[in-house]
Amino acid sequence: MKKKNHLRKPLSPPKFLALGFAAIVLIGTFLLKLPIASSDGTSTPFVDALFTAVSATSVTGLVVVDTGTHWSFFGQIVLLLLIQIGGLGFMTSATWVALMFNRRISLRERMILQEAMGHTQMSGIVDLIRRALIYSIIIEAAGAILLTIRFAMDMPLSEAMYLGIFQSISIFNNAGFDLMGLHHGPFSGFPAYVADPYVNLVLMALIFLGGIGFIVIFDLIEYPKTRKISLHSKVVLTVTSTLIVLGAVLLFILEFSNPRTLGPLSTPVKMMASLFQSITPRSGGVSTIDISGLQQSSQFFMVILMFIGAAPGSTGGGIKVTTFAILIGAVVAMIQGKRDVVLFRNRIAQAVVYKSITLTILSLLLLVGASMFLSVTEQGDFLIILFEAVSAFATAGLSMGLTPELSDIGKVTVSSLMFLGRLGPLTLAYALSRHNHKDLYRHPEGKIIIG
């Protein structure tokens, strides 16, 4: 009898989310493998279809085939749906459908939504989802209109509208898929618009808004009324802005005379390109210069930016800017001999500090193991392989050109990194926060020499 009850026990929210994402990936793989999904009417190899489905669902943007030239209109629509579901989260999308039919959201579903959104409390979670969907539609529609206006100068209006809609949804969800291969050649990206301030500003705004998360967006919208910003939003905005400015300055200095990147550009365009390349590691997945042409110092710096990633509850990946802020706060507290980690005059709970350290170390271990494995299975310099691994895990979508050259086992490995990067830290954080069992005793204190 106990065994039957155990078997009927509902899945925990982390398991439910993982299985849900896996189901979406499998459905996407099946649809992308259909002959109708490719532009030439042939069936795409299973590994390539799987890789693309994982990349779209995890809103990464790494591709083994060019999005614009390989996939048909049907295939591109499938990708767009996977990106939208992956960016918002399948539970968020399912909740939207349920709300449309006035169905009541159960307590268990609210717990899963809280996990999916990275929210600190369950109260108001349904309202948060409703507003997230509304703001997503508004931002994506605005981005589509603005991009359509610009693209209409270079192509027919119907084509410009489709391109504008696709790129707005892809960029806001930090997916990084683009259709530029139709106009500038396979895997071309946005270098043709490196000197176009209009396109740059629209894309940067979409990446930024998608990377800071809905909770921060809500705080900013409500600020004129409340005159208050939560600690979470203060940390996200401060760290994100600091990393963007620091990244832009460093890339400008490091690449100023590089003939393969900023060298041939005018000074104003160099500044704009540096800013764009500093914002896109938030998980944007698009670039306006050749990433493989960057100096090694710049490439490694971008690896660090990708590893840090975006904000919790956003469409971006990485260990998250809040985790990074807590780690820096812990270092400062230790150096100053203080007991507590304090951010903006608020003490951070010790459990949260431990969780941040655990997430970072586990992420580093995973990347070290994956990079070593890829260095055995793939051909290329280690920095190129490391860049690929971090980009996949952080769902950043940037590549130095290794992705199309991956072996089948390399594609599976990178696909696993993308999947774990989208779910792993989130699931682990939930598991750690729910196991609050306290020992009834404490072990004797031991002495260990460090440093």
**Residue whose structure tokens are 């509304």:** 134
| Model-wide pTM > 0.75 | yes
**Domain assignment present for 445:** no
**Domain assignment present for 417:** yes
CA 267 vs. chain centroid, Å, equals: 30
Report yes or no: 212 and 244 within 8 Å, Cβ to Cβ.
Answer: no
Q: Where are the beta strands (DSSP E) in 237-385?
A: 341-343, 346-348
Amino acid at 362: L
**Domain assignment present for 260:** yes
Q: Which tokens in the block code for residue 67?
A: 């999005």
Q: How far apart are the first and last CA of the chain?
A: 55
Q: Please say if the pLDDT value at position 100 is more than 80.
A: no
Q: How confident is the model at residue 2 (pLDDT cuts 50, 70, 90)?
A: very low
Report yes or no: 94 and 129 within 8 Å, Cβ to Cβ.
Answer: no
**Domain assignment present for 391:** yes
Over residues 219-223, the mean pLDDT reads 89
Distance CA 186, CA 137 (A): 29
Secondary structure letter of residue 35 according to DSSP = G
> What is the per-residue pLDDT for 284?
83
Report yes or no: 174 and 310 within 8 Å, Cβ to Cβ.
Answer: yes
Over residues 371-388, the mean pLDDT reads 93
CA 330 vs. chain centroid, Å, equals: 25
Q: Please say if the pLDDT value at position 330 is more than 60.
A: yes
Q: Where are the beta strands (DSSP E) in 390-429?
A: none
pLDDT in tens, 29-65: 999 999 999 999 999 999 999 999 999 998 898 999 9
> What is the per-residue pLDDT for 16?
67
Q: Give the other-Cβ count within 10 Å of 242's Cβ.
A: 12
Q: Which domain holds residue 206?
A: 10-431
> What is the per-residue pLDDT for 296?
95
pLDDT in tens, 421-449: 887 655 654 544 555 555 677 778 787 87
**Domain assignment present for 439:** no
> What is the per-residue pLDDT for 293?
93
Distance CA 187, CA 5 (A): 53
Q: At what angle do helices 157-172 and 73-88 cross, to 10 degrees?
A: 30
**Domain assignment present for 157:** yes
Report yes or no: 308 and 321 within 8 Å, Cβ to Cβ.
Answer: yes
Mean pLDDT, rounded, of the chain: 85
Q: How confident is the model at residue 227 (pLDDT cuts 50, 70, 90)?
A: confident
Q: Render the burial of 97-118: b for 16+ CB within 10 Å, e for the rest.
A: ebeeeeeebeeebbbbbbbbbb
pLDDT in tens, 162-203: 999 999 999 998 888 999 888 877 888 899 999 999 999 999
**Domain assignment present for 384:** yes
Over residues 58-77, the mean pLDDT reads 92
Report yes or no: 58 and 421 within 8 Å, Cβ to Cβ.
Answer: yes
Distance CA 202, CA 221 (A): 19
Domain count, the chain: 1
**Domain assignment present for 451:** no
Task: Tell me how long the chain is.
Answer: 451
If phi > 0 it is left, if psi is from -120 to 50 it is alpha, else beta; for residue 320 that is left
If phi > 0 it is left, if psi is from -120 to 50 it is alpha, else beta; for residue 138 that is alpha
